[in-house]
Amino acid sequence: MSGSQKFFGTDGVRGVANRYPITPEVALRLGRLAARVLVAPMVAREAAEGGKMWPRCIIGKDTRISCDLLEAAFAAGMASEGVDVMLAGVVPTPAVSYLVREEEAAMGVVISASHNPFPDNGIKFFNGGGQKLSNEQEAALEAAIAEAAPALQDDNERPTAGKIGRISQMEKAAERYNHMVFHEVGGSDHGLLSGMKVALDCANGASSRTSPEILRVLGAEVSVFSDEPNGVNINEDCGCTHPEIISRLVDETGAQVGIAHDGDADRIALCDEDGVALDGDELMAIVALHYLQAGKLVDNTLVATIMSNCGLDAAMEAAGGKLVRAGVGDRFVIQEMRKGGYNFGGEQSGHIVCGDYLMTGDGIIAGIEVLKIMVETGKPLSELRQCLTKFPQVLLALPVSSKPPLEELGEAMELVKQTEAALGSAGQVLLRYSGTEPKIRLLIEGEDAGFIQEEAEKISAAIVAQIGA
């Protein structure tokens, strides 16, 4: 591993499973390094302050066939460094965040590639508070991976005999998470959603064991789809990356609302009773404006990313609130929320963070918050969504063969500057590489739909000509 190699994308380490770097060998090494770089300092700091944090890691996973080998390798790496490992099994990503906090574990890990197709996999990290790693923690782990520290080759330093870490299966992890959502988010009201018809797409992923039960316990009539994972069908023509599926299912079932998760259930896609899909901006507008009116939105502030539509700024300002923007990726949203003490934020892509319950993206919690608003107001989702008037927007994801620095994309960057100058303050142009896929993403937003479409075509053509796959 060279010192220049970068392993972390926007959300952990990700790639094709059983191909470098998502191999059992790398997972084993990551387990050992995480124990040394993340767990040991945290345990030592707690001890110095007179407390005691158990050197324990909770590992969850989604339903990919490759999860077992990566889970076993990572767990073995941690146990070899004296960390006890608790296997939560197949659970949503936010469940791991919750369980880390409840068990007072030193860290948590999720083996998942989120919305990516089943051949992919990845490793996500949570710290001892059940939150995504800070920039400093991620940088420290990245450096440790790249340095190939000689100490890793010194087997004499490893614990032996009774000090070797143990691996155990956590009992009823999904049930405990369900219980928390039902009581804290639903308020233990068995009839809260009584009479509401919901179409639910579980993406053949981790929510198959959680979301249907939660919604039914709250009284909803639920038609469940894509809830039979077999290890290879996760996200396959289903889930929140295929909103057309949940739209069709709403039409077929006559549901009042459609909910679709991704593979690890930290994202959500909604569609209204007419089968028309909502994006994360619309969902955030509905919840944030309701919170604002009820006096529940901390400092009257919503946190979104630079990718969110400018109409969201306008809607918040008109209601007496404000929008704070963070970098792309839910961990940057969460960092901004923690920094300002805010309690609600998210991404256009459907990562929604309801900080009053969990400081991480949680699809079913976000969904329940919307359903509660529907019940409280008596309004259908098609009416609630009208609180947001969007600026016209073009968003493209272009496959690329390489990822040179953006400033090296000469013609494309010159076109970007020209478009920005033409838009002025009434729009924006964003160009960035995907942190998890070989793609470059282009976003143009402005008041004139025809103009931004023309500019998007020019810029994308220049990109494809230079680095197109």
> Which residue bears the tokens 């901006």?
281
Task: List strands edge to edge, sheet with 105-111.
Answer: 13-16, 120-126, 105-111, 54-61, 84-90, 167-169
Residues serving a catalytic function are 114
**Phi (first) and psi of residue 15, to 5 degrees:** 175, -170
Q: For residues 360 and 203, what is the distance between their CA atoms, to the nearest angstrom? A: 20
Helices (H) and strands (E) in the chain, counts: 15, 18
What is the 8-class DSSP label of residue 95?
A: H
CA distances from 2 to 8, 59, 143, 264, 366 (A): 14, 28, 10, 31, 41
> Which residue bears the tokens 């009208």?
386
Pairing of strands 13-16, 120-126: antiparallel
Q: For residues 342 and 339, what is the distance between their CA atoms, to the nearest angstrom? A: 8
> Which residue bears the tokens 């076993």?
72
Residue 267 near residue 350, CB atoms below 8 Å? yes
